[in-house]
């Protein structure tokens, strides 16, 4: 790349450059050298260099081959950072000419101002233009669509990053003018209009797609019934005088006024009562947005683009293409004052996103895209791995990354809403549901948490870079089994494997994968935990269990331990925090062992820390743990931590005096209650759990993968 940053805009006609002016000015203000390539039929303002390239509008013209060769030489010699192309054939030529440049890092962006294939388009348009655009999408880094129909179709059908940006931006300030009554009457007079005439305006070049011939025919009967109706047709004539001829044949010369090209559109809108658009197809019509900016009601045909802007009864009316009777009827209701809608309230909210400054702001993310990260989890509940994913998202730099949490819909949704985390929900954790989510979101990185999510994510390694993060340490990870073989078969598709403890890293399955392994202890925000623990609860407990009520956490063993301690301390108070498939079994066992007064089942709670703070000790009965996050949290809150002999928990503390089997934990709890002393654990000084240290590791990983996307 050259030291001076460069951007190239292309369109088959130079006239189209008017839509690029806001972006060209923005690039120049940010130190870019701005170039433009077009057929060169007129001068392009605002660029440092203007190249003439023999673009042809028809895909069948041989000159387009010459255009590809000419433009390729320009692109290869100039070393552009960004190429932003417009118009159908201008973009095809540009993208073919830029194939080599893209491989060298040039970002190629195409803005489609309304595809030639659309709902209601001719078969020939679909047969010619749709296959071309589908193929060319493979040579496009970002496809910008400006209306919802094009966006929805492109996102489903094209293999590229599809964005919806509402138009090219309109400078509404130039329409913010105020004419006095005398000034309005004077302008009307200059056009042969009286102060009491009902004036309609249609700002568009006269051509087939804008459908002015049909409009003129539709007004024939109405104009003769209401001679004070007038239509201003503003724009260049590309129909060779056909509209004027039809007007004369129908005797409407006094009602229809051909103004040609005008540079006083803002004033013409001020003297009009109604705006009209009878297009058969649009991208996102600027003429309607201009009318909306001064709160002029609009009657428009039901085509792509028009219906994005106009809502019947809110800021105008939509009528079906070809329905002359409906068009005449609606206009007559406006003429007779039967329609009185306050368009200002609707337009003031709707028009804001079309302002130039807001469109430029939206385009920044297209020119400099954020790396998209999708965190994939198989559980619909909030627990250890889910909390880690939330913390990662919370601490990921939003200036550089766009991050979303993806899992089956369920209990987790409310927690994510509280944490203000973007959520992509799945109907089920299946290949097809995940495929749909990935195709819609198009992540650069999939950060998959635990084995099931990692193995399914590995199937999409050609669509995104995969990080597999393992939060669990099951026994099968340490020997050859069906599950370990299945996971191992996926590892070549992972960029990195993040593990949360040394005991996981030492598993036999990872023995030959040291170059892929990254040790990332879960981070703990001690200040947040302490702050959350301050929420007052009145009850006090001797022991707390905090975890999912699932077999791996062994909650039934916890109940047995409390039952044995009760034999010497009848008033022991314990609380179990969590939910899961063993909830009913836990309730049954508590009843059978007559522990209803000793153990309180509180289920899932979003903030467990007040319960933990009001307890003397935490007991961990898990069969295995990936990291033992709850042990660190409890230790920070001053609790004694009594745990089964779990390697990942042992490595957190200095010494193992509170580690043992069930009988040993019974003795520890009994001693604690007998002697009224705490037996605190000391966290290892070799370990740091701060968010800054942990996110630095993951952040560097995201950065490297993002740079190579």
Q: Which residues pair with 33 in a beta bridge?
A: 6
Question: Mean pLDDT, to the nearest integer, of 293-320?
Answer: 93
Which residue, 493, 519, 545, sits at the end of a domain?
A: 519
Q: Does the residue 362 lie in any domain?
A: no
State the pLDDT at residue 685: 58
Domain of 155, CATH number, reads 3.40.50.2000
Angle of helix 526-533 versus helix 629-636 axis, rounded to 10: 60
Contacts of 607 by beta carbon, 8 Å cutoff, 6+ apart: 532, 535
Does residue 522 surpass a pLDDT of 90? no
Q: Length of the chain in residues, anyone?
A: 709
Please write down the long-range contacts of 692-700, taking CB distance under 8 Å and 24 or more positions apart. Answer: 693/523, 694/520, 694/521, 694/522, 694/523, 695/392, 695/395, 695/396, 695/523, 697/518, 697/520, 698/392, 698/396, 698/498, 698/520, 699/396, 699/397
How far is C-alpha 582 from the geometric centre of its chain's CA atoms?
Answer: 37
DSSP E strand stretches across 528-598: 541-546, 574-577
Point out the least confidently predicted range of 198-212, 483-497, 512-526, 587-601.
512-526
Say yes or no to pLDDT of 509 above 90: no
What are the two backbone dihedrals, phi and then psi, of residue 155, each rounded to the nearest 5 degrees?
Answer: -65, -35
Lowest mean pLDDT among 339-343, 406-410, 603-607: 339-343
Question: CB-based burial of residue 293 (10 Å sphere; 0-12 exposed, 13-18 middle, 19+ buried)?
Answer: buried
Indicate if 505 and 624 belong to the same structural domain: no
CA separation for the pair 521, 498 (Å, rounded): 9
Residue 512 vs residues 491, 492, 506, 509: alpha-carbon distances, Å: 11, 12, 10, 8
Question: Model confidence over 408-418: pLDDT tens digits?
Answer: 999 899 889 98
Q: Which two tokens stand for residue 473?
A: 């340490």
Residue finishing a domain among 130, 164, 198: 164
Residues 395 and 303 in one domain: no
Instruction: Give the domain range for residue 624.
Output: 534-675
Residue 366 has pLDDT above 60, yes or no: yes
Q: Is 701 inside any structural domain?
A: no
Domain check: are 230 and 92 in the same one? no
Helix, strand or coil for residue 545? strand
Both tokens of 380, joined, read 């619909």
| Mean pLDDT along residues 345-351 | 84
Regarding whether 157 and 181 lie in a shared domain, the answer is no
Q: Taking residues 447-466, report their average pLDDT.
A: 95
* CA separation for the pair 54, 40 (Å, rounded): 8
Rounded CA separation 698/707 (Å)? 14
Strand order, beta sheet including 445-449: 423-426, 401-408, 371-376, 445-449, 465-470, 496-499, 517-519
Q: Measure the CA–CA gap between 356 and 331, rounded to whole angstroms.
A: 31
Half-sphere exposure of 192 (CA within 13 A, CB side): 12
The C-alpha atoms of residue 709 and residue 378 are separated, in whole angstroms, by 25
Q: Comparing C-alpha atoms, which of 319, 313, 376, 322 is closest to residue 346?
A: 313
Does 190 share its domain with 331? Answer: yes
Q: What percent of the chain shows pLDDT beyond 90?
A: 69
pLDDT exceeds 60 at position 203: yes
Contact between 567 and 670 under an 8 Å Cβ cutoff? The reply is no
Residue 340: what pLDDT? 81
| pLDDT at 2 exceeding the cut of 60 | no
* 3-class secondary structure, 494: coil
Domain boundary, last residue among 519, 553, 585: 519
* Residues 337, 294 share a domain: yes
Helix 123-136 × helix 88-97 angle, to 10°: 30
Q: In this structure, is residue 457 part of a structural domain?
A: yes
The percent of residues above 70 in pLDDT, for the chain, comes to 97
The structural domain count of the chain equals 4
Q: Which residues have CB under 8 Å from 124's CB, separation 6+? A: none
pLDDT at site 237: 94
Q: Which two tokens stand for residue 297?
A: 């009601």
Alpha carbons 54 and 140: distance in angstroms, whole number: 22
pLDDT band at 689 (very low <50, low <70, confident <90, very high): low
Strand partners, 301: 319
Q: 254 pLDDT exceeds 90?
A: yes
Kindly state whether residue 404 falls inside one of the protein's structural domains. yes
Does any domain span residue 694?
A: no
pLDDT level of residue 352 (50, 70, 90 thresholds): confident
Give the per-residue pLDDT at 11: 95
Asked if the structure places residue 89 within a domain, the reply is: yes
Supply 687's token pair.
Answer: 């370990």
**318/196 same-domain check:** yes
Q: Is the pLDDT of residue 1 over 90?
A: no
Q: Please tell me the distance from the alpha carbon of residue 141 to that of residue 159, in angstroms, as a whole number.
A: 10
Assess whether 183 and 314 both reside in one domain: yes
* Average pLDDT, integer, range 261-276: 94
Which tokens hold the place of 111? Answer: 């803005």
CA distances from 519 to 503, 548, 583, 682, 684 (A): 10, 25, 34, 22, 16
Question: Contact 592/563 with Cβ under 8 angstroms?
Answer: no
- Are residues 160 and 176 located together in one domain of the fold? no
**Distance between CA 8 and CA 87 in Å, rounded?**
14
Inside any domain, residue 1? no
Task: Quote the CA–CA distance of 257 and 291 in Å, as a whole number.
Answer: 19
Instruction: Classify residue 697: in a domain, yes or no.
Output: no
Higher-scoring residue by pLDDT: 136, 341: 136
191: which DSSP letter?
T
pLDDT tens digit sequence for 544-564: 999 999 999 999 999 999 999
How far is 699 from 126, CA to CA, in rounded Å?
Answer: 45
- Claim to verify: residue 511 and residue 559 sit in the same structural domain: no
Whether the per-residue pLDDT at 484 is higher than 60: the answer is yes
What is the residue-averaged pLDDT of the chain?
A: 91
Name residues whose C-beta falls within 8 Å of residue 491's C-beta, 6 or more positions apart in sequence: 468, 497, 513, 516
Cα dihedral 173, 174, 175, 181 sign = positive
In a shared domain, residues 443 and 330: no
Query: Do 338 and 443 fall within a single domain?
Result: no
Give the predicted TM-score (pTM) of the model: 0.69
């Amino acid at each position: 790349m050259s030291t001076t940053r460069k951007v190239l805009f292309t369109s088959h006609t130079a006239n189209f450059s008017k839509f690029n002016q806001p972006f060209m000015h923005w690039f120049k203000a940010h130190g870019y050298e701005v170039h433009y390539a077009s057929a060169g039929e007129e001068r392009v303002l605002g660029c440092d260099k203007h190249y003439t390239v023999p673009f042809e509008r028809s895909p069948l013209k041989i000159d387009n081959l010459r255009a590809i060769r000419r433009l390729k030489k320009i692109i290869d010699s100039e070393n552009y950072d960004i190429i932003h192309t417009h118009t159908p054939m201008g973009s095809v030529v540009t993208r073919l000419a830029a194939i080599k440049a893209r491989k060298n890092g040039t970002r190629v962006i195409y803005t489609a101002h309304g595809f030639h294939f659309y709902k209601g388009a001719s078969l020939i348009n679909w047969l010619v233009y749709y296959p071309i655009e589908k193929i060319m999408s493979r040579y496009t880094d970002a496809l910008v669509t400006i209306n919802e129909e094009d966006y929805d179709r492109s996102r489903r059908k094209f293999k590229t990053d599809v964005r919806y940006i509402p138009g090219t931006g309109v400078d509404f300030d130039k329409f913010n003018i105020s004419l006095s009554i005398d000034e309005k009457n004077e302008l009307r007079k200059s056009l042969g209009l009286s102060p009491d005439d009902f004036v309609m305006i249609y700002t568009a070049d006269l051509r087939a797609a804008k459908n002015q011939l049909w409009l003129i025919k539709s007004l024939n009967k109405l104009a003769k019934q209401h001679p004070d109706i007038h239509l201003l047709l503003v724009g260049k004539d590309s129909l060779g005088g056909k509209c004027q001829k039809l007007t004369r044949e129908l005797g409407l010369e006094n009602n229809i006024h051909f103004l040609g090209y005008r540079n006083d559109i803002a004033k013409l809108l001020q003297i009009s009562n109604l705006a009209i658009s009878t297009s058969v197809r649009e991208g996102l019509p600027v003429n309607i947005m201009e009318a909306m900016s001064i709160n002029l009601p609009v009657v428009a045909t039901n085509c792509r683009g028009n219906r994005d802007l106009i809502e019947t009864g809110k800021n105008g009316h939509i009528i079906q293409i070809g329905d002359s009777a409906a068009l005449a009827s609606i206009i007559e209701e406006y003429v007779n004052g039967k329609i009185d809608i306050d368009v200002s309230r609707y337009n003031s909210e709707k028009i804001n996103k079309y302002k130039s400054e807001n469109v430029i702001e939206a385009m920044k993310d297209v020119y400099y895209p954020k790396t998209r990260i999708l965190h994939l989890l198989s559980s619909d509940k909030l627990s250890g791995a889910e909390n880690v994913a939330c913390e990662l998202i919370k601490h990921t730099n939003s200036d550089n990354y766009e991050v979303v949490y993806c899992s089956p819909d369920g209990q987790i949704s409310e927690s994510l809403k509280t944490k203000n985390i973007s959520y992509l929900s799945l109907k089920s954790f299946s290949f097809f549901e995940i495929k749909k989510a990935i195709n819609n979101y198009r992540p650069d990185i999939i950060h998959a948490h635990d084995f099931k999510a990692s193995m399914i994510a590995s199937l999409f390694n050609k669509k995104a870079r995969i990080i597999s993060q393992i939060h669990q340490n099951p026994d099968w990870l340490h020997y050859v089994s069906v599950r370990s073989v299945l996971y191992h078969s996926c590892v070549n598709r992972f960029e990195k494997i993040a593990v949360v403890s040394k005991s996981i890293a030492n598993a036999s399955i990872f023995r030959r994968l040291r170059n892929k392994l990254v040790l990332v202890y879960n981070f703990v925000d001690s200040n947040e935990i302490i702050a959350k623990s301050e929420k007052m609860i009145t009850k006090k407990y001797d022991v707390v269990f905090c975890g999912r009520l699932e077999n791996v956490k062994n909650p039934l063993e916890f109940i047995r331990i409390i039952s044995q301690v009760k034999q010497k301390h009848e008033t022991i108070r314990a609380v179990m925090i969590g939910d899961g498939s063993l909830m009913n079994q836990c309730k049954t066992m508590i009843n059978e062992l007559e522990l209803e007064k000793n153990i309180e089942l509180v289920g899932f709670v979003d903030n467990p820390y007040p319960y933990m703070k009001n307890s003397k000790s935490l007991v961990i009965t898990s069969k295995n743990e990936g990291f033992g996050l709850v042990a660190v949290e409890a230790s920070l809150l001053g609790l004694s931590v009594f745990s089964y002999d779990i390697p990942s928990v042992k490595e957190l503390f200095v010494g193992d005096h509170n580690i043992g089997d069930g009988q040993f934990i019974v003795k520890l709890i009994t001693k604690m209650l007998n002697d009224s002393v705490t037996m605190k654990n000391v966290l290892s000084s070799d370990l740091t759990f701060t968010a800054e240290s942990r996110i630095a590791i993951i952040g560097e990983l995201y950065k490297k993968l993002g740079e190579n996307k």
